[in-house]
Amino acid sequence: MRSIIVNKKYDGKYLSHFLFDSFSGLTPNLFYKTLRKKDIRVNDVRVSKDVIVHTYDEIKIYVVDSLLYKSFSPDIVYEDNNILVVNKPSDIEVVGENSLTGFLKDFLLVREQKSIFIEPCHRLDRNTTGLVLFAKNETALQILLQKFKVHEIEKHYLATVYGIPKISHQTLTAFLFKDSKKSLVYISDEPKQGYVKIITSYSIVKKFPEKNYSILDVCLHTGKTHQIRAHLAHIGHPILGDGKYGNNQINKKFGYKTQQLCSYSLTFNFITDAGMLNYLNGKTIKMKD
């Protein structure tokens, strides 16, 4: 049995709407079967139909956890009392419906047998894999959001790109414009109105001249939408599998359907005080081998 309280977002909404959003594994068939059995209570009153609920209503649903929550076993790379780092798979958003954050909350609810605070401190694109840092309390969240803002958390990525850069190590500076309507960004070598400065560094990790591709270690000095993907494409080395900024014919040739980009390392380089998180200073968290 699970007991949950209706929040303001669902005031005046149908019970089904609230429950489907609250429990990732709940299906329409299971919901209506549970109604028929009168195994759902609203303010301790059994209901047999899809009723309207209101803020602060208490909903009790008598269904086992294994049916209420989708089966999800997160790849936890690091965890302590304040933070949790998860290896995000491809084809999943960090936030939103059916997201990494939602599945992680479900997993931790079952593991801990209580609801706990868990919020992401940054995001990765849907098809970018790798490390996502979560805060386990509000204080840690605010500290880490600020540390990302002032660039005191260093993120490294591995990118498989078309071609081989002529320069083995380079720090690139350009300007980025975000077109939210098209969900695209544009890169310019010169400053323009509406464009923001971006800085991206890369080092060649491995070259494959016979097939004309290479693997780069990429470091973000600024964290803008699609920055790595667009910036590398701008210099003529798009990430393989990237359907938005890459070349579809090249992607087809290499057999990649999603961008080959992975966030593999996080380093805490605190210059200013981090309060309760000072113990993380100098620590690097990497993907498991």
Fold classification of 2-68 is 3.10.290
Active-site residue (options: 57, 106, 125, 242): 125
Which residues on neighbouring strands pair with residue 186, listed in sequence order? 177
pLDDT of residue 75: 94
pLDDT of residue 116: 87
pLDDT of residue 106: 87
At the top level of CATH, the class of 75-151 is alpha beta
pLDDT of residue 243: 93
pLDDT of residue 223: 87
Collapsing DSSP to helix, strand or coil, 65 comes out as helix
Residues in the chain: 289
Is 24 within 8 Å of 69 (Cβ atoms)?
Answer: yes
Residue 78's closest CA among 206, 267, 232, 270?
A: 267
Is 102 within 8 Å of 57 (Cβ atoms)?
Answer: no
What φ, ψ does residue 269 adopt, rounded to 5°? -110, 70
Helix/strand number for the chain, H first, E second: 7, 15
The pTM assigned to this predicted structure is 0.79
Q: Which residues of the chain have pLDDT under 50?
A: none
Domain ranges in the chain are 2-68, 75-151, 154-264
- Read off the pLDDT of residues 82-98 as tens digits, 9 standing for 90 and up: 999 999 999 899 998 77
pLDDT of residue 1: 87
CA 86, 91, 94, 99 dihedral sign is negative
- Is it true that 2-68 and 154-264 share their CATH fold? no
pLDDT of residue 66: 79
125 is catalytic: yes
Q: What would the CATH number be for the domain defined by 154-264? A: 3.30.2350.10
